[in-house]
Structure 1
Amino acid sequence: MLQADQVLQERYQLKQKLGQNAGRQTWLAEDLQVVPPEPVIIKLLTFGGDMQWDDLKLFEREAQVLKQLNHPRIPKYRDSFSIDDRTLWFGLVQSYIPGDSLKDLLTQGKKFTETEVRKIAVSVLQILIHLHKLNPPVLHRDIKPSNLIWGEDQNIYLVDFGAVQDRAAAEGATFTVVGTYGYAPMEQFGGRTVPASDLYALGATLVHLLTGVAPADLPQSDLTIEFRDRINASSRLVSWIEELIEPSLKRRFSQAQQAFDALKSGHLSQTGSRKISPPTHTRVKLRKSREQLLIELPPTQHSSLEKLGLWLKIAVVGLIGAVSLLSFCMAIAYGLAFSGGGLGFSLVVVLAWAGLGFHFLQTTFGYERIAIDEQDFLIQKLLFNRCIRQRKGVNSEIKDVFQSLQIEASGTFDTTYSRSKEIITIQTQDQRYSFGLGLSAVECVWIAQEIKSWLRL
Structure 2
Amino acid sequence: MLEPGQVLDNRYRLQKKIGQNSSRQTWLAISLMSQQQVVLKLLTLNPQIQWEEHKLFEREGQVLKNLNHPRIPKYQDYFIIDNLPGSRFPWFILVQSYIDGVSLQELLNQGQRFSESQVEKIAVEILNILVYLHSLEPPVLHRDIKPSNLILGKDEQVYLVDFGAVQDKAVAEGATFTVAGTYGYVPMEQFAGRTEKASDLYALGATLIHLITGTHPADLPHQNSRIEFANLVSIDVGLVNWISKLTEPNINDRISSANDAITALENKYTLSSAITNHKPKGSKIQLQKTANHLEIKIPRRGGKSLRFLYLMGFVVALLPQITNIIINTSRFWSYPNVIYASLFFGISVVFLLFFGHTDLYFDHDNFEVKWKLFGFCFWRKTGKNKNIREIYQENKKVASAPMGVTIELINNKKITTTPLSTIERYWLINEIADWLKF
TM-score band (shorter)?
0.7 to 0.9
Match of residue 212 from structure 2 = 210
Match of residue 349 from structure 1 = 339
Equivalent-residue separation in structure 1 for 2:343 and 2:65 (angstroms): 75
Mapped contact 2:366–2:382 kept (Cα < 8 A) = no
Match of 1:56 among 54, 57, 71: 54
Equivalent-residue separation in structure 2 for 1:320 and 1:145 (angstroms): 51
Mapped contact 2:205–2:244 kept (Cα < 8 A) = yes
Equivalent-residue separation in structure 2 for 1:106 and 1:307 (angstroms): 33
Q: How do 1:393-408 and structure 2 match up within 5 A?
A: 401=392
Return the letter of the residue paired with 1:189: F
Mapped contact 1:321–1:353 kept (Cα < 8 A) = no
Matched, 1:288 2:279: no
Shift of 1:88: 1.1
Equivalent-residue separation in structure 2 for 1:386 and 1:51 (angstroms): 73
Q: How do 1:244-283 and structure 2 match up within 5 A?
A: 244-267=246-269, 269=271, 272-274=273-275, 277-279=278-280, 282-283=283-284
Q: How do 1:26-425 and structure 2 match up within 5 A?
A: 26-34=26-34, 37-85=35-83, 86-168=88-170, 175-267=177-269, 269=271, 272-274=273-275, 277-279=278-280, 282-301=283-302, 303-310=305-312, 345-353=335-343, 355-356=345-346, 358-359=348-349, 362-363=352-353, 366-374=356-364, 379-382=369-372, 386=377, 388=379, 390=381, 401=392, 420-425=401-406
The residue matched to 2:132 in structure 1 has which SS? helix
Residue deviations 1:376-430 (CA, integer Å, cap 9, x gap): 655443456546254867569766746976859xxxxxxxxxx622433568999
Distance 1:163 1:220, change over 3 A: same
Residue deviations 1:175-202 (CA, integer Å, cap 9, x gap): 4321111111110010010001001111
Q: How many residues align?
A: 430
Shift of 1:359: 3.3
Shift of 1:11: 1.0
The residue matched to 1:267 in structure 2 has which SS? helix
Q: Relative to structure 2, which stretch is displaced further, 111-120 or 133-142?
A: 111-120
Residue deviations 1:100-159 (CA, integer Å, cap 9, x gap): 111112222222222222221111111111111112111000001111101111110000
Match of residue 441 from structure 1 = 422
Match of residue 17 from structure 1 = 17
Equivalent-residue separation in structure 1 for 2:95 and 2:403 (angstroms): 49
Shift of 1:358: 4.6
Mapped contact 1:73–1:157 kept (Cα < 8 A) = yes
Equivalent-residue separation in structure 2 for 1:161 and 1:396 (angstroms): 57
Equivalent-residue separation in structure 2 for 1:430 and 1:260 (angstroms): 38
The residue matched to 1:79 in structure 2 has which SS? strand
Distance 1:211 1:350, change over 3 A: closer
TM-score, with normalisation over the residues of structure 2? 0.85
Distance 1:97 1:367, change over 3 A: same
Equivalent-residue separation in structure 2 for 1:218 and 1:320 (angstroms): 47
Greater gyration radius: 1
Mapped contact 1:76–1:94 kept (Cα < 8 A) = yes
Structure 2: give runs of 5+ residues left out of the alignment.
none
Equivalent-residue separation in structure 1 for 2:199 and 2:410 (angstroms): 38
Q: Relative to structure 2, which stretch is displaced further, 226-235 or 396-405?
A: 396-405
Shift of 1:29: 0.7
Shift of 1:368: 1.9
Q: Relative to structure 2, which stretch is displaced further, 393-402 or 283-292?
A: 393-402
Distance 1:224 1:283, change over 3 A: closer
The residue matched to 2:402 in structure 1 has which SS? strand
Distance 1:456 1:29, change over 3 A: farther
Q: Relative to structure 2, which stretch is displaced further, 42-51 or 216-225?
A: 216-225
Q: Relative to structure 2, which stretch is displaced further, 67-76 or 378-387?
A: 378-387
Equivalent-residue separation in structure 1 for 2:394 and 2:10 (angstroms): 61
Return the letter of the residue paired with 2:192: G
The residue matched to 1:138 in structure 2 has which SS? coil
Mapped contact 2:40–2:94 kept (Cα < 8 A) = yes
Q: Relative to structure 2, which stretch is displaced further, 244-253 or 397-406?
A: 397-406
Equivalent-residue separation in structure 2 for 1:393 and 1:138 (angstroms): 57
Equivalent-residue separation in structure 2 for 1:318 and 1:407 (angstroms): 34
Mapped contact 1:175–1:192 kept (Cα < 8 A) = no
Shift of 1:318: 7.9
Equivalent-residue separation in structure 2 for 1:101 and 1:312 (angstroms): 44
Return the letter of the residue paired with 1:247: P
Equivalent-residue separation in structure 1 for 2:191 and 2:160 (angstroms): 22
Shift of 1:83: 1.4
Equivalent-residue separation in structure 1 for 2:62 and 2:413 (angstroms): 55
Distance 1:388 1:145, change over 3 A: same
Match of residue 6 from structure 2 = 6
Residue deviations 1:254-307 (CA, integer Å, cap 9, x gap): 11111222222223556x444554346644221211122221222344634423
Return the letter of the residue paired with 2:420: L
The residue matched to 1:303 in structure 2 has which SS? helix
Structure 1: give runs of 5+ residues left out of the alignment.
328-340, 409-418
Q: Relative to structure 2, which stretch is displaced further, 136-145 or 345-354?
A: 345-354
Q: Relative to structure 2, which stretch is displaced further, 23-32 or 386-395?
A: 386-395
TM-score, with normalisation over the residues of structure 1? 0.82
The residue matched to 1:166 in structure 2 has which SS? coil
Equivalent-residue separation in structure 2 for 1:267 and 1:257 (angstroms): 17
